Structure 1
């Protein structure tokens, strides 16, 4: 017997519950409105009422997932320096589920879904939704630090792209053979990336 929505949830929360449980069932699984509605035990009309477009449904579902994997509240912990908080944010991006997910298996699934062959439109939409959510959370971290004067004011798009490219590169390196202690090498690289972004503020202040 398939999963059923937890008792006591309203229709919107039932839909989000259904969508998040379907995320790991193959690229684009939650883009099937009928399938999500069926698992949520709501009508397709109810689903469309809460989420008029597939993009809105995908973004909302991923927001729920990343609230657990990458909570935003830790960036506000001012008992840590801005540098320490930014590095911690990048570390969570690099290993959002901690040691619970095997890096090699995660990359194998990502390769099969998005790289090995021409991705389907559903797979493409899913990947872009994940990318949007990760960029949004990185931007949020930087905007908090901007409010503290640790990051220069202005658009963060280039900074987000830089930091995300660093994290993506390290995630590939995680599955490759290495002769150096991997954990320390990753930490050193993330610290250098944070140094660069935060160093902009020091440079601007020194002009």
Structure 2
């Protein structure tokens, strides 16, 4: 096998090991040492392919979501980044429904996570769901950062902000409304996306 072949093989083993660790525990912390050990490569080899933990996480997110959502609108460069991100955020809101369906979803969430002190199992389930949602948001921002549509680096505060906006909008869907939810929701999503893409 050529040197390049070995290099590609070890990169694939590293990504497969990291993906397996996340599949077993979505809250797993992907430390360089743990992933390298799982992949059967040296930490130096891992660092060669992924100079830091962030590079590894970005590559893994790209691999996971590229596989899970091959037609993800975030990748359609014929559409402006702003519109693509709003479309992706709508995908998060869509399953919650509107009106009775949204009320039912929030009633279940309230009874499960808020009404009484959550058990360790319930807490772990919630954190896993929350982390999965945040990873998807982070993936979308990473794709846009790769295109130069927003600054690269750590997206933690942007993800937290967008997650908060989505939570607020999903609650709003469950509440009585006088005006069109679609119109006000669209305006809010564009304002949020503009704040993320054009920080002052």
| TM-score category, normalised to shorter length | 0.5 to 0.7
**Does structure 1 retain, via aligned residues, the 8 Å contact 2:169–2:185?**
yes
Distance 2:157 2:87 in 1: 20
Aligned CA-pair RMSD: 2.7
Q: Note the residue ranges of structure 2 that are not aligned, 5 or more in a row.
A: 1-19, 28-60
Corresponding residue of 2:131: 132
Question: What's the CA shift for 1:57?
Answer: 3.5
Kindly tell me: are residues 97 and 117 of structure 1, through their superposed partners in 2, closer, same or farther at Cα, counting changes over 3 Å?
Answer: closer
Distance 2:135 2:144 in 1: 14
Distance 1:96 1:188 in 2: 20
TM-score after normalising by structure 1 = 0.62
Corresponding residue of 2:151: 152
1:155 alignment partner, SS class: coil
Kindly tell me: are residues 98 and 75 of structure 1, through their superposed partners in 2, closer, same or farther at Cα, counting changes over 3 Å?
Answer: farther
1:95 alignment partner, SS class: helix
* Deviation readout 1:105-134 (Å, 9 max, x if unpaired): 111111111011111111110000001111
Distance 1:135 1:106 in 2: 19
TM-score after normalising by structure 2 = 0.64
1:71 aligns with 2:65: no
**Does structure 1 retain, via aligned residues, the 8 Å contact 2:158–2:196?**
yes
Q: Note the residue ranges of structure 1 that are not aligned, 5 or more in a row.
A: 1-50
* Deviation readout 1:51-78 (Å, 9 max, x if unpaired): 88xx853539xx9xx97xx836321011
Q: Would you say how many aligned residue pairs link Structure 1 and Structure 2?
A: 142
**Does structure 2 retain, via aligned residues, the 8 Å contact 1:58–1:126?**
no
- Superposed, 1:38-187 pairs within 5 Å as 56-57=23-24, 59=26, 71=69, 73-96=72-95, 102-187=101-186
